[in-house]
Amino acid sequence: MKVFVTGASGHIGSAVVPELLEAGHQVVGLARSDASAAALEAACAEVRRGDLDDVDNLTDAASHADGVIHLAFKHDAVQNGGMNSAIDADAAALRALAQGLERSDKPLVGTSGTLLLGLLGITGRPGTEDDYVLPVEGSMRSNNENYVIGLADRGIRSSVVRLPPLVHSTLDKHGFGPTLIRIAREKGFAGYPGDGTNHWSAGHTLDAARLYRLALERAPAGTRLHADGEESVQLREIAATIGEMLHVPTKSIPLDELDGYFDFLSGFITLDARVSTAKTQALLGWKPVGPGLIGDLKQGHYFTN
């Protein structure tokens, strides 16, 4: 299968591309810089120059592919306070990709996050693949997730991989994990919100990459999938591990002072989102095998710089 991959040289993409190639697929990766193009060429993937804002290019690339995996997202904009603009750019890119695939029965695998389930206030059980945030007015990444699912009605074998907020491995250089470590270095202590008993899920990059391949190959149209290897890790435990590895104290951050410590993370650092992957595992035969978050943090590779 000839697969067009956006975000092909990023954190997740750098694992998805070799996963696809090793399975016998041909990969065309979107590259917005010379460095990204060089990384894709080194991985033996074909390069297509462009970025998320060049929607005509995205439509053309999708129309010449047998399937699409959409990983790219303007994370740099989010870190600079531009969450809405990043979501809007993602929505425009998805519309462009869909235009190139409409009525083809070809797969489009989109990307979302299980942390969104924390907005539902689910109690007493983990969130499942059947739980979702209803469409709302404005810029919400959950709206983009719902859009991809709806493409099943337009002749596209669409699916969404929901990533955990903490996707970890040696490939992770700019995610939420490195961000929490950077903040702890700068502040001189590792913080957690309030009593720190809220939960985030986690998963290994290579497990996520394998799920993207399986979704591309055989996920039914309109499918939501969970890439979490661990359904819940307390924020207090994460902070304690970061503090241990940095040799700094661990402290509670009062809820009215979150902005001063967590910066752009403050808007969702208090969400509680335990998740299940039971349906994903049963549907695709996927099983996470990578190390857990705390064990991966304690290996030390996050703290060498």
Residue 78 has pLDDT above 80, yes or no: no
Which SS3 state, helix, strand or coil, does residue 292 take? coil
Average pLDDT over residues 87-98: 96
Digit-coded pLDDT (tens) for 151-165: 999 999 999 999 999
DSSP symbol at 44: T
> What's the Cα-to-Cα distance from 298 to each of 91, 185, 224, rounded to whole Å?
37, 16, 32
In order of start, what are the domains of the chain with their CATH numbers?
2-166+203-230 (3.40.50.720), 168-201+231-274+291-303 (3.90.25)
**Two structure tokens written together for 90:** 């993602």
Closest CA to 100 of 140, 57, 135, 46: 57
Closest CA to 177 of 90, 238, 115: 238
Model confidence band, residue 79 (pLDDT cutoffs 50, 70, 90): confident
Digit-coded pLDDT (tens) for 137-152: 877 899 999 999 999 9
CA distance 169 to 103: 37
Average pLDDT over residues 268-285: 96
Neighbouring-strand partners of residue 251:
191
Digit-coded pLDDT (tens) for 286-303: 999 999 999 999 999 999
Closest CA to 207 of 180, 245, 169: 169
- 86 touches 140 (CB < 8 A): no
Query: From start to end of 124-281, where are the E strands?
Result: 157-163, 166-168, 190-193, 199-204, 223-226, 230-234, 250-253
> Who contacts 133 (Cβ-Cβ below 8 Å, separation ≥6)?
116, 117, 119, 120, 140, 142, 145, 146
Q: What is the pLDDT of residue 256?
A: 96
Mean pLDDT of the residues in the chain: 96
DSSP symbol at 303: G
Residue 276 has pLDDT above 90, yes or no: yes
Residue 305 has pLDDT above 80, yes or no: no
Burial profile 228-260: b = 16 or more Cβ within 10 angstroms, e = fewer: bbbbbbbbbbbbbbbbebbeeebbebeeeebee
Digit-coded pLDDT (tens) for 24-77: 999 999 999 999 999 999 999 999 999 999 999 999 999 999 999 999 998 887
Q: What is the pLDDT of residue 76?
A: 84
Beta strands at 199-204 and 230-234: parallel, antiparallel or unpaired: antiparallel
Q: What is the pLDDT of residue 139?
A: 79
Q: What is the pLDDT of residue 45?
A: 98
Residue 5 C-alpha from the chain's centroid: 14
Closest CA to 233 of 205, 190, 191, 202: 202
Closest CA to 227 of 4, 16, 5: 16
Model confidence band, residue 80 (pLDDT cutoffs 50, 70, 90): confident
Residue 196 has pLDDT above 90, yes or no: yes
Helices 176-187 + 235-246 axis angle, to 10: 60
